[in-house]
Amino acid sequence: MINQRVQDMQEVRAYGYFPSDSTEDKRARKAFDKGKTVYLNVEDSRLVDEQGKYIAHLYSSSKVNPASNMTAQEERYVDMAVQNNLKSKGTAFILSLLFGALGIAHFYTGNVIYGVVILIGSIIGVLFLGAFFIPICIVLTIVDCFVSMGEVTTYNRKQRLIAIQQIQLQRIMNNKAE
């Protein structure tokens, strides 16, 4: 364990660690007020006493999460960027159900070319086959409901990857500036 002795909460904050909530803040302040020797356990993000007993849980705004290789602030940015551009599977399903023969759901998911192909195919089908094209449209609409929901998943994943790539690009630019 990597332990760093700290004198007060101000020093803890200087290392980039903060109490996870008001209860943890009270526990930490109480330990400092009693004059205990307090250590910052960097690996577990918590304050411990000399025997290694837990005093308070902390979080770090700059500590890198090994699973995502991003700081908490960067993860919040990614989540916020994805939430701003999130598409709904329910909306895609309803659009496909109501307007499947027109390809509207594909326009919604950003797959414009596929939407145009379906729209043109539907127009040509109605012109050449007339009423015989209606059963074909019904079957294709049912299939399209599930295809468009898969496109929403793909779209949302792409938005997340774009946000992560923006962070990586920003890191590169920051490293070049230094």
Residues 81 and 121 in one domain: yes
93, 44: one domain: no
Q: Are residues 34 and 87 in the same domain?
A: no
Shared-domain flag, residues 153 and 81:
yes
Residues 76 and 42 in one domain: no
Give domain status of residue 41, yes or no: yes
Query: Do residue 144 and residue 84 come from a single domain?
Result: yes
Mean pLDDT of all residues in 44-53: 81
Residues 76, 45 share a domain: no
Decide if 19 contacts 45 (C-beta within 8 A): no
Q: What is the rounded distance in angstroms from the CA atom of residue 160 to the CA atom of residue 174?
A: 21
65 part of a folded domain = no
Band (pLDDT 50/70/90 cuts) for residue 87 is very high
User: Residue 127: what pLDDT?
Assistant: 92
Among 64-73, 79-88, 105-114, 163-172, the minimum mean pLDDT is found in 64-73
Co-location of 162 and 107 in the same domain: yes
Distances, alpha carbon 93 to alpha carbons 62, 102, 141, 178, in Å: 40, 14, 10, 49
Average pLDDT for the chain: 84
pLDDT at 80 over 90: no
Residue 99 lies in a domain: yes
**Three-state secondary structure call for residue 131:** helix
Tell me how crowded residue 61 is: count the other CB atoms within 10 A of its CB: 13
15-35 pLDDT, tens digit per residue, is: 777 787 788 888 888 888 888
88 and 55, same structural domain?
Answer: no
* pLDDT tens-digit series, residues 110-157: 999 999 999 999 999 989 988 888 898 999 899 999 999 999 999 998
Domains held by the chain: number = 2
- For residue 98, what pLDDT is reported? 93
Give the residue numbers spanning the domain of 107: 70-177
Q: What is the percentage of the chain residues whose pLDDT exceeds 70? A: 91
At residue 64, the pLDDT reads: 54
Is 97 in the same domain as 158? yes
